[in-house]
Chains A and B, each alone.
Chain A
């Protein structure tokens, strides 16, 4: 793959009047955004046919920075809004840029149901284990013991494994990387964008300001080193005993299948309705 310079990608796809972004130094959202734009560029997708959707939070500001149609909605509801957009105009390709709290906490119900329906959408999920914009409260993805302003003594609840959840709910494509995994990340997004149905690429993304500071990792490099330590590639994880996997996060591709997407299912349903009513042969 030929890699264009970051400047080229920026000039081609970002709204210059919206820059600089609101992201803190060391934040990983910019990287995930860059990978997404590179994937779009590489696939030569038509930006006029792509709509970016988001909820609330840091990652949800992304649709404002990219020069596409975009809907910045309410907390957790991006996928519910996306359902309306996609079914009203199936020609549009939808990218939902979401955070972990957005997708798995307040939007958890929309998340599992969008997957159950196999809504045609590509979710880029920024998982930084925290509510960054509101100041570092604990997220439903936070591993046990991690600190947040609402769990100052360390999280006592069990975390969600978002990728695992998506696979179980029926997503067509599910991958997880850290923003450190540059090429795997871009390739996964490319794959996701080309498939019908629900596709998800989750990124472990550093939030040094709201999360790192409270967990003795004040800089992005410290967080990246931590990701290296806690992540285990899928192939390796398969050979590891469960006790060794405790507190680790498996990365890789978890699902790659081709169940019919919601748009196709609804098209067939419409045909069936007309046939049952005797409107069509």
Chain B
């Protein structure tokens, strides 16, 4: 396999470019998108690379179509991705819910920008955390990952594909404008260096008869992709194990939805990832995600120099959310600070996790700029 970019060495590239390259290394061969700042560079890179690796890159008429097309491609057997920003992500929400309901592995990149609506199109924000987790309709679960460096944007993109395939679910890579447009040194591995996971296919006709049944006991049914002679019917309506619509049967609905949610819940340990920094003896903790974590690392260093026992918990997985871990943290520290580039979206999750065991304080900043380390330090030292 020949790649249209250097592999097995480092390169100095933007976050968006890193996401595109990682997708191709992860096996993505279908990209559908619609241009939007600050995600367009992902599309532009995919447009350049995809034809060369015998993949498809297509500019759809809108974001609804982009999301639809990647789901279609996934059922035809391809690993598929789209990328957008907040307003486009809103347009994708119905079909994102459809992907959850039909257990379709796809990767959706949301490069956040200022909102609501068109808001601050060229400036950074972290205003889509709630949208990523709860934006679609009904009871559901999906996986949301969040990088804080360009290298992490690369690594988590590969991880996003692997988790999507492993658990037959959409995965949202939630990043922000700062990381998307920032250039950093990234190590691009050779294909042999990275673990690539492919979806479980039915072993035989019998397994293929239950495309939505828990036949292996792990909650993840093998996916009978189209064109293999299995004659699979896929619908967004409530369906039984064979995929037959059963829209007014409460029991069927409950069984289906609970399995879809539980297949992720029972694999929390595999899905949830975080980095702890100076947390062992910390008396105050900072919990953050994405670009803000980088200011938070510096803030912890400054606080330590000033004699404050501070530590940082950087969340790489935002959903499923580890409420238990936050409660354990809250039992050990006096106070938790949540700096984020919105008026309190991660804060709500952390506060719920802390469960009253420690005080939780929001350090909100909106308008397009990342917190400076000193802004965090000053709030902590009061």
The residue that A74 contacts in the complex, of B29, B68, B75, B80, with Cβ under 8 A, is: B68
- Known contacts A63-B233, A71-B234, A109-B62; is A89 also within 8 Å of B244 by CB? no
A67 at the interface (CB under 8 A from B): yes
A1 at the interface (CB under 8 A from B): no
Q: Which A residues touch B76, using CB under 8 A?
A: 51, 84-86, 88-89, 92
Q: Tell me the chain A residues, 104-121 only, with Cβ under 8 Å from chain B.
A: 109-110, 113
Q: Are A64 and B244 in contact (CB under 8 A)?
A: yes
1/0 per residue A107-141: CB within 8 Å of B? 00110010000000000000000000000000000
Q: Tell me the chain B residues, 64-89 only, with Cβ under 8 Å from chain A.
A: 64-66, 68-78, 80
Q: Are B52 and A277 in contact (CB under 8 A)?
A: yes
A48 at the interface (CB under 8 A from B): yes
1/0 per residue A263-281: CB within 8 Å of B? 0001001101110010100
A17 at the interface (CB under 8 A from B): yes
Cα(A87)–Cα(B232), bound, Å: 19
A49 at the interface (CB under 8 A from B): yes
Cα(A206)–Cα(B267), bound, Å: 51
1/0 per residue B204-236: CB within 8 Å of A? 000000000000000000000011111111111
- Known contacts A81-B69, A81-B71, A85-B73; is A110 also within 8 Å of B237 by CB? no
Chain B contact residues, majority secondary structure: mixed
Cα(A107)–Cα(B179), bound, Å: 35
Q: Which residue of B lies closest to A68 (CB)?
A: B231
Q: Which A residues touch B51, using CB under 8 A?
A: 269-270, 272-274
Q: Which A residues touch B54, using CB under 8 A?
A: 270
Q: Tally B residues with Cβ within 8 Å of A.
A: 45
20 contacts between A and B (CB under 8 A): A48-B229, A64-B244, A70-B234, A71-B72, A72-B236, A72-B245, A74-B95, A80-B66, A80-B68, A81-B69, A84-B74, A85-B72, A85-B76, A85-B226, A86-B76, A89-B78, A92-B226, A109-B65, A269-B51, A274-B52
Those 3 A-B pairs whose CB atoms lie nearest each other, nearest first? A84-B72, A80-B68, A84-B73
Interface residues of B (CB under 8 A from A): 2, 4, 29-30, 32, 51-52, 54, 56, 58, 60-62, 64-66, 68-78, 80, 94-95, 98, 226-237, 244-245
Sample of 6 further A-B pairs with CB below 8 A, known A74-B68, A88-B76, A110-B68: A73-B71, A73-B98, A82-B72, A83-B60, A84-B73, A84-B76
